[in-house]
Chain A
């Protein structure tokens, strides 16, 4: 296990404590806590030290993400968004934008990333949001859906059409024309601060457009999503670990029919399934992180594979954990109950099960003449 971010892990553990259950019930994270984590660089740990970040590798940040995911998927989802924002700035921003925005993102300012639209969910090529020239600057018009963390964000990284290509524009959440409408009661990651965002004639300086824009839309969203997939995949490893810990702890001590639950073979079999899920998901995430660290073009497909495998295992493991804890895990706020709701949504975001399978099938077919 990686020790590189041990101090950061301890810092998160200390700050979070036993509060995730209450955050889940209240549907809100304390924004000061997010700012504190942000100011330590923990929410986007892969930002290089030269830009004020922790300079973590993908494996170390993955283990940190799994740790946070095991505590609270809402908090982990904020980490995913901040990480995507930082990665997008690193890839697409010019020199000045990288310096300025990465300092913001490791200095306590919070970011959310807006891809999805009412007419563009799985099919992001149907995106309609427009970033148009306006005097010396740009004007942004569009509607975005289900933006994680938008409620807490200072900055919204918005993807849209730009000329005959696309661009990512960094929009201050308090700019005139930005309307953030929180989603009242999400099924899972309840404290993730999801919101629909309307952008109506939002005027911004040209320096808000990352790298001046004009990127291929597909390159822009795949680059951003690939980081998101790595982060969600590792977050799911955390969910599975929390389920395994909760289920083994419970079934070892609670007795029914004269023996510990774990002494019944039907129960023991499910504990084995949880262990398999944890190991398989960890390994596939490690594999993807190594591809990421070595800069191999295969990292794009490995990230999809890791996300798909881990999200599926997390959803099944969470159902297993609720089954094994039964009434003890059936109360909202409980680790198993949260995992059950949170993990289901992991099968939807950053490429749903179906979209991941289509991509993987394409990949399988690509090798056939």
Chain B
């Protein structure tokens, strides 16, 4: 399931978001990562990709990630980003 399709099928599951994120990372940085791997600490994320990630999540899940949500801790791992997406989508729908 693509991220776009995931966004259609509410409510989105953590597993679906994780899978879509792993696929996006594999496509963009040509590396398969673990869901709990520190992406920023490991140098896998270029400065360009850091912003692309944010814009991608906003576009794919129809959420706005701004202000205090843009913290390193929310982006460090696939798990953290998944939690962020689920929380912001729930806030938007709730």
Residues of A within 8 A of B (CB): 90-95, 97-98, 124-125, 164-165, 210-212, 214-216, 218-219, 221-223, 226, 295-301, 304, 359, 362-363, 366, 369
Contact = CB atoms under 8 A, between A and B. Distances in A.
Contacts of B66: 90-93, 211
B72 A223 contact: no
Interface in B48-75: 48, 50-56, 58-59, 66-73, 75
A92 B67 contact: yes
A219 B54 contact: yes
Nearest to B73: A214
B88 interface: no
A220 to B, nearest CB: 8
A181 B73 CA distance: 37
10 contacts: A91-B67, A94-B68, A125-B47, A165-B71, A211-B71, A215-B71, A219-B50, A221-B47, A222-B48, A296-B55
Contacts of A221: 47
A366 B46 CA distance: 12
Contacts, number: 86
B67 A296 contact: no
Contacts of A301: 48, 52
A221 B46 CA distance: 12
A105 B31 CA distance: 42
A227 to B, nearest CB: 11
Contacts of B56: 297
A211 B55 contact: no
Contact of A216 (B40, B48, B52, B59): B40
B28 interface: yes
Contacts of B30: 366, 369
Contacts of B40: 216, 218
Contact of A165 (B28, B51, B54, B72): B72
A339 B37 CA distance: 49
Contacts of A165: 71-72
Given A300-B52, A366-B30, 4 more contacts: A93-B67, A210-B67, A218-B50, A366-B28
Interface of B: 28-30, 40, 45-48, 50-56, 58-59, 66-73, 75
Contacts of B48: 222, 300-301, 304, 359, 362-363
Given A297-B52, A300-B51, A366-B28, A218 B45 contact: yes
Contacts of A215: 70-72
A164 B46 contact: no
A215 B58 CA distance: 17
Contacts of A296: 55, 59
A214 B71 contact: yes
A295 B58 contact: yes
Nearest to B68: A211
Nearest to B60: A297
Contacts of B46: 218, 362
Contact of A98 (B29, B45, B52, B67): B67
B28 A300 contact: no
Nearest to A96: B67
B18 to A, nearest CB: 19
A165 B38 CA distance: 14
Nearest first, the 10 closest Cβ-Cβ pairs linking A and B are: A218-B47, A219-B50, A165-B72, A297-B52, A222-B51, A218-B50, A297-B56, A211-B67, A94-B67, A211-B68
Contact of A219 (B68, B70, B73): B70
A219 B69 CA distance: 12
Nearest to A221: B47
A91 B69 CA distance: 10
Contacts of B73: 214
Contacts of A211: 66-71
